[in-house]
Amino acid sequence: MLPEPPASSPGDGEEEAEEGAEAPDEAGESADETPEFADLPLPALAALREALTWAFEGEEVPPGYLERCAEHALIVQEGNRRMNLTKIVEPREIAAKHYLDCWRAARYLPLMGRSLLDLGSGGGYPGVPIALAEPNARVVLLDSTQKKADFLSESIARMGLKNVTAVGDRAETHLIKNHYDVVILRAVSSVRENVRTLRKVRHSLRDLVMMKGSSWSREVRAGEREAERLGFKLDTVWEYKLPGEMGDRAVLVYRAPGGQGR
Residue 34 DSSP class:
P
Q: Is 6 a domain residue?
A: no
User: Does residue 73 fall inside a structural domain?
Assistant: yes
Q: How many domains does the chain have?
A: 1
pLDDT band at 85 (very low <50, low <70, confident <90, very high): very high
> What is the rounded CA–CA span in Å between residue 196 and residue 200?
8
Is residue 32 very low, low, confident or very high in pLDDT (cuts 50, 70, 90)?
A: low
Q: Bridge-partner residues for 141, per DSSP?
A: 118, 166
Residue range of the domain that includes 249? 22-28+36-259
**What is the pLDDT averaged over residues 81-100?**
97
Q: Mean pLDDT over residues 236-252, rounded?
A: 96
Q: Which CATH number fits the domain that encloses residue 164?
A: 3.40.50.150
Of 149, 6, 131, the residue nearest 79 (C-alpha): 149
Q: Is residue 131 part of a domain?
A: yes
- pLDDT at residue 22 in the model: 35
Confidence of residue 261 (pLDDT cuts 50, 70, 90): low
DSSP H helical segments within 44-145, as ranges? 45-55, 65-80, 91-93, 101-108, 127-133
**Residue 262 pLDDT more than 70?**
no
Domain presence at residue 12: no
The answer to whether position 182 is within a domain reads yes
What does the pLDDT average to over 229-255? Answer: 96
**Element (DSSP H or E) covering residue 182:** strand 180-186
195 inside domain:
yes
Q: Does position 188 have pLDDT exceeding 60, yes or no?
A: yes
> What confidence tier does 184 reach under pLDDT thresholds 50, 70, 90?
very high
Judge whether 178 lies within some domain. Answer: yes
Query: Which amino acid type is present at position 259?
Result: G
- For residue 259, how many other CB atoms are within 10 A of its CB? 19
> Above 50 in pLDDT, residue 75?
yes
Q: How far apart are CA 178 and CA 108, in angstroms?
A: 24
In a domain, 4, yes or no: no
Q: What is the DSSP string of 217-242?
A: HHHHHHHHHHHHHHT-EEEEEEEEE-
